[in-house]
Amino acid sequence: MKDMNKDILKKGFSKLCTAKAMAELYEENFKQVSKYVHATSRGHEAIQVALGMQLLPQDYAFPYYRDDAMLLSFGLEPYDLMLQLLAKRDDPFSGGRTYYSHPSLKDDDKPKIPHQSSATGMQAIPATGVAMGMQYKELQGLNDTSIENPISVCSLGDASVTEGEIAEAFQMAALKQMPILYLVQDNGWDISANEAETRAQNAAEYAAGFHGLEAISIDGANFINSYNTIEKVIDTIRKERRPFLIHAKVPLLNHHTSGVRMEWYRDDLDEARSRDPYPVLRQQLLNNGFSELDVNYIENEAKQKVASDFKKALQAEDPKTEDLFTHDFVPTPITEERGTREPEGADKVVMVDCALFAVEELMREHKECLLYGQDVGGRLGGVFREAATLAQKFGDDRVFNTPIQEAFIVGSTVGMSAVGLKPIVEVQFADYIWPGLNQLFTEVSRSCYLSNGKWPVSMILRVPIGAYGSGGPYHSSSVESVITNIRGIKIAYPSNGADLKGLMKAAYHDPNPVVILEHKGLYWSKVPGTQTATSVEPSEDYVLPFGKAWVLQEIWKQDHVETLTIVTYGMGVHWAYNASGELGMRDQIEIIDLRTLFPLDEDTIMKSVKKTGKCLVVTEEPSNNSFARALAGKIQEECFKYLDAPVMTIGSENMPAIPLNSTLEQAMIPSTEKVKAKIEDLLNY
């Protein structure tokens, strides 16, 4: 095969030889490098290099864990990759925090690589979120028209295409016609399971079911064919702004990973070696005017570079203990309460409207702000009318419905944030959050930490929560104990409209991911005893920092009367306030409204409990193994010598679900009466 640009051929062969030399060096030094798990691109190099050489600095790429040849073709050095291989302090991707070939990169002269996990297929949704963000910026006139249109690239192994989240990504890319290329590298294997065992069709055949996603199958072991095909596809995506999938058949010539050796289970190694891309590309150079001497020189130069970089990487510094504690969050500019909480002459509004008006104000001021989720678009404006009129005011491109795809709703924010947008997204009920937890835990929450601070995910996830109006087992759950066990996100759970508006504004300006749990029973204050959830609407500039609890009922230290601290949040605030009032004990009971579950205002809690000597934690969740029970344990630990009784909790009954019948629902969840009884038990202890 002749007539290809010689500079392209030379560069492609050099990158292939470098990746090949790295794989061989790792095998030769297996004991030194096998402390941490790694995989190599051996057999996949041609297609990876053919793609990587054609991306521009404005493009976004999501390589997967076998893509070290692609990373080399972006301009990274073997030394850079080896620092990660050996988990060194100067690893440019993660500072020694994550595996080899798990990149995150924000260099001006290279394609941008947001952080992604190695959970196979998980990267498809964030990558598609990038493409959605690019499309949004073009529609809103926020894009840079002085440069070529950017594209998003998602690299996948064929086995990962069976993941359900891949379908969500493909569906949205096809539906919205997004500028994304899915490169599927098909080597016929999962780990030890082969394609005949695990796939009903290959990736191209699967993609054909998504109308509008054009799929092409190629021999990914042939560099020239791969390069030419990718060149045409990328050019089309840049001009026509629509999605493609390239299904590249390649051999796997090295172990699945360093810990799973190919000789343990492979029976096709001879056949695979017959499709090695290295001799093919080597011959292509000879066919295009390179001499044997030229080719040998390129190979030897690559080997020498790899050996030299490895020697240097071995000597590099390891992380220090204190490096563990950096980059879990980016500092937020909102550290103090600002603005007017109760403007003169302002109307009192229900809680749901405080949130609605906050989002409206944000969208009016910031074109980077958009809202999406199920049924939030113009026809309905949310099942709780929490997005009412927003689509009419800001257009269907800024406020829009998604399919029933919680994983996509949550995970796409990684990509949207990466291109500089601020998505506000919604899961319709807390009970529906479970499909989105994969993305929230693995991608959203860890991105800042595992990218060493390069890629914090700036997003807001709104979650209507709690039992209200006989919602039954699929519309009533409390999920905060699961959410609070995800480190790397901030969590608000306000009890009134003013707090919700102030926290919503703070969340928008926070560069980190925020989950806001909004109790459905407080939205309109229709539940008896929740009138105090309504508020005078704060001013537009009002912000309430995370991590500052509100002592809504403060008492003084009393030596001759039994006193009590109630620590609570959300609906629990109203049960506690009403219970203390009905008991006539407002001067004996201090009530702390947490406002945010993370960060948690421990200082305010401990100061109060040390003053009162007794503590009750009130939650709507079943209390066994809950956030509330963990908090009670923390209080007991910190305040033990000040306590006159054990720290107690009250929550819902420890049953698997909230029943539909209203009598059973009320038997399940706490109430003012139940909290009153618990208060009396604790005061009389």
DSSP assigned state of 441: I
Helices 6-28 + 223-240 axis angle, to 10? 110
Bond preceding residue 126 cis, omega within 30 of 0 = no
Total Cβ atoms within 10 A of residue 581: 15
First-to-last C-alpha distance (Å) of the chain: 89
Determine whether 444 is exposed, middle or buried from the number of CB atoms within 10 Å of its CB (0-12, 13-18, 19+).
Answer: buried
- Which own/partner pairs from 391-397 qualify as long-range (CB within 8 Å, at least 24 positions apart)? 393/360, 393/363, 394/363, 394/364, 397/136, 397/139, 397/140, 397/370
599: cis peptide before it, omega within 30°?
yes
Which helix (H) or strand (E) segment is 519 a member of?
Answer: strand 514-519
Q: Give the residues across from 215 on adjacent strands.
A: 245
Q: Burial, 230: exposed, middle or buried (Cβ in 10 Å; 0-12, 13-18, 19+)?
A: buried
Could you give phi then psi for residue 29, rounded to 5 degrees? -115, 40
- Check if the beta carbon of residue 466 is closer than 8 Å to that of residue 430: yes
- 3-state secondary structure at position 462: strand
Q: Is 256 a catalytic residue?
A: no
Measured CA to CA, the distance from residue 451 to residue 455 in angstroms comes to 6
Q: Can you tell me the distance from the alpha carbon of 132 to that of 414, in angstroms, rounded to the nearest whole number? A: 11
* 270's tokens: 């001879």
The C-alpha R_g of the chain, in whole angstroms, comes to: 28
d(CA 156, CA 63): 8
Closest CA to 577 of 538, 614, 551, 544: 551
Q: Residue type at 62?
A: F
Helices (H), 181-291: 195-198, 203-207, 223-240, 269-273, 277-287
Position of tokens 């989002």? Answer: 359
Bridge-based pairing of strands 648-652 and 535-536 is: unpaired
Token pair of 325 as six digits:
């504690």
- Catalytic residue selected from 44, 102, 475, 519: 475
Strand, coil or helix: 16: helix
d(CA 508, CA 511): 8
Active site residues: 475
